[in-house]
Chains A and B, each alone.
Chain A
Amino acid sequence: MAASRDEQIINELRLRREQHWSLYDHPNLIRAASVMIFLAAWEFYGRRTDPILLTYPTAVVWAAAQLIRSGELFRQLMVSLASLTVGFGVSLLLGVGLGLAMGRSRLAEAVLDPHINAFYSTPQVALTPLLMMWFGLGFGVKVVIIFLFTFFPILINTASGVKNVSASMVEVGRAYMASEPQILFKVVFPAALPFIMAGVRLAVGRGLVGMIVAELFTAITGLGAMLTLYGNLFETAKMFVVIIVLGLLGVGLIQATQALERRMARWKETERAVS
């Protein structure tokens, strides 16, 4: 009697487990189908349009192979990444340093705050022509533009992170006779790190935009310059290769920052960015 009830229950459970096959349990199938249909339609339609205006997937793959084999893509990517690294490095150093100062000292904040707010609310793109006038068209101007794009998110997030450090922690440090540098590096900096990393994540995306804008307008070296060049030559397939590389770069950089954020700021409670 008891056994049959058990069986009944198991049967019922099995019945429930053996649901009808549902498409919703396989979202990647739907995604794959969607992408396949899109690519097929693009290929079909793209081959029939003027290649100057629209290209098609196989042509883009061909162009990619060509650009990779000639080494041009890699070379320009390195040039772009070099300026991104330098500009970002400088703004990381200065942004975190100034941010710590502004968060710790009300004096520094009062002196710097109006200028920083004014600068931050100016769309930095608008300043690029002036910067090109000042720094020319080379490596230097790219670094400056990337610096300007990335500096403010880091600075503002660092300052607000420092201001958010609970006063009791600082007081405990002081009670144990910690010196001001010790308080800064052992208490304030680690506590502000989640905020700083949120600023870094914002800055990475903006830095990429700054890099592209700088290269589009200087149009000499880098991935942005390739875009301008192939745009002027009406080589649409090659433009798409560059756009895809930039997209992948964006995804890769953001993922890397997020991984770094998880490793470096595991104790974070709030990671809310002040944008």
Chain B
Amino acid sequence: MALNVLEEQALVEINLSRAKPFRLTDYLGLLRVSSVVLFVVAWEIFGRRVNPLFLSYPTAIANACVQLLISGEFQRQALGSLQVYAVGLTAALVLGIPLGLLMGRYRLAEYLLDPYVYALDATPRVALIPVLLLWFGLGAPAKIAVVFLSGIFPVLMNTFSGVRTVSSSLVDVGRAYGAGEGKIFTKIIMPAALPFIMAGVRLAVGRALIGIITAEMFTAVTGMGALLIRYSSAFATDKFFVPVIFLALLGVVLSAAVEALQRRLAPWKETERAL
């Protein structure tokens, strides 16, 4: 009987401790959502009262988005930007990876090239945009050059240090089994350096995006950057936010895609440390 009372008491106590007092930290997901909702609502209310030349509000932006999509203007400019971006980034990969491999494997190549690589890597690439425009004009070639220069150095530097960290015992074993230089390159060094290369690619994707936006804003003729300049000079703030949101989504999608690729291509990676 006494035992039962004790048991009951214990049960009650346990129940009490289970029915904890309300704590905000138990509802973090809810808090996140409400934080965003609150922000959007506040923006809507506040934005409607401010002069529309300076600040827009969410529903106006959604409206502008639909308008731009229907007129087809947005898609055309986005496609132009993406084409330039793809060409420039491909060129950066096609040149950056082999150069990094060469510099990592052969000391002569390293010593010949590293003064330029370090110098150009330290120079903020945006500073080169005016010169590149002078050389290549206002069209696609200048933008491709900007994307290329923004993207090549992260890839090159990461490939270089990836090749450098390939353990020499792996290469020695390859050599002991009679592998030629070509085999060592393709079967040992490339796979071992791949995680580093992919980390470089991930960096390059982001930098190249910044490069193309800046270049297009500076030339202000075609592309996403030009849209940004056009809408802001026309004080069409609602339309201005459409490319901004698009670029943010593009950045997220691209880096997620590279990460997925990285997981597929280099699942054996141990360190993916970017330089």
Contacts and interface: CB of A to CB of B under 8 A. Distances in A.
Judged by DSSP, the binding face of B is helix
A123 B129 CA distance: 17
Contacts of A111: 31-32, 35
A234 B127 contact: no
A247 B35 contact: no
A114 B39 CA distance: 11
Nearest to B133: A231
Contacts of B28: 106-107, 109-110
Interface stretch (B6-14, B57-65, B211-219, B262-270): B211-219
A205 to B, nearest CB: 8
A31 B126 contact: no
B127 A246 contact: yes
Given A123-B213, A209-B126, A243-B127, A115 B134 contact: no
Nearest to B228: A129
B31 A213 contact: no
Interface string B132-150: 0111000000000000000
B24 A130 contact: no
Contact of B123 (A38, A52, A243): A243
A16 to B, nearest CB: 20
A242 B229 CA distance: 25
Interface residues of B, number: 57
A70 interface: no
B244 interface: yes
A135 to B, nearest CB: 11
Contacts of B235: 133
Interface stretch (B93-101, B105-113, B177-185, B188-196): B105-113
Contacts of A243: 123, 127-128, 131
A127 B131 contact: no
B130 A114 contact: no
B232 A132 contact: yes
A32 B150 CA distance: 26
B122 A123 contact: no
Contacts of B29: 110
B27 to A, nearest CB: 9
A162 interface: no
Given A121-B252, A134-B54, A227 B123 contact: no
Given A27-B107, A239-B130, A246-B123, A107 B232 contact: no
A224 B214 CA distance: 13
Given A107-B24, A231-B131, A236-B131, A216 B126 contact: yes
B196 to A, nearest CB: 14
Contact of B251 (A121, A134, A236): A121
Contact of A30 (B25, B112, B231): B112
B35 A209 contact: no
B36 interface: yes
A122 B245 CA distance: 7
Given A27-B107, A209-B124, A118 B24 contact: no
Interface in B57-113: 107-108, 110-113
Interface in B20-69: 24-25, 28-29, 31-32, 35-36, 39, 54
Contacts of B172: none
A258 interface: no
A271 to B, nearest CB: 10
Contacts of B36: 114-115
Q: Shortest 5 CB-CB distances between A and B: which pairs?
A: A129-B232, A247-B123, A231-B130, A30-B111, A122-B248
Interface of B: 24-25, 28-29, 31-32, 35-36, 39, 54, 107-108, 110-116, 119, 122-124, 126-131, 133-135, 203, 209-210, 213-214, 217-218, 224-225, 228-229, 231-233, 235, 237, 240, 243-244, 247-248, 251-252, 273-274
11 contacts: A31-B112, A34-B112, A53-B134, A107-B28, A110-B29, A111-B31, A122-B247, A125-B214, A126-B225, A231-B134, A239-B134
Given A209-B210, A231-B134, 4 more contacts: A35-B115, A110-B31, A123-B251, A126-B247
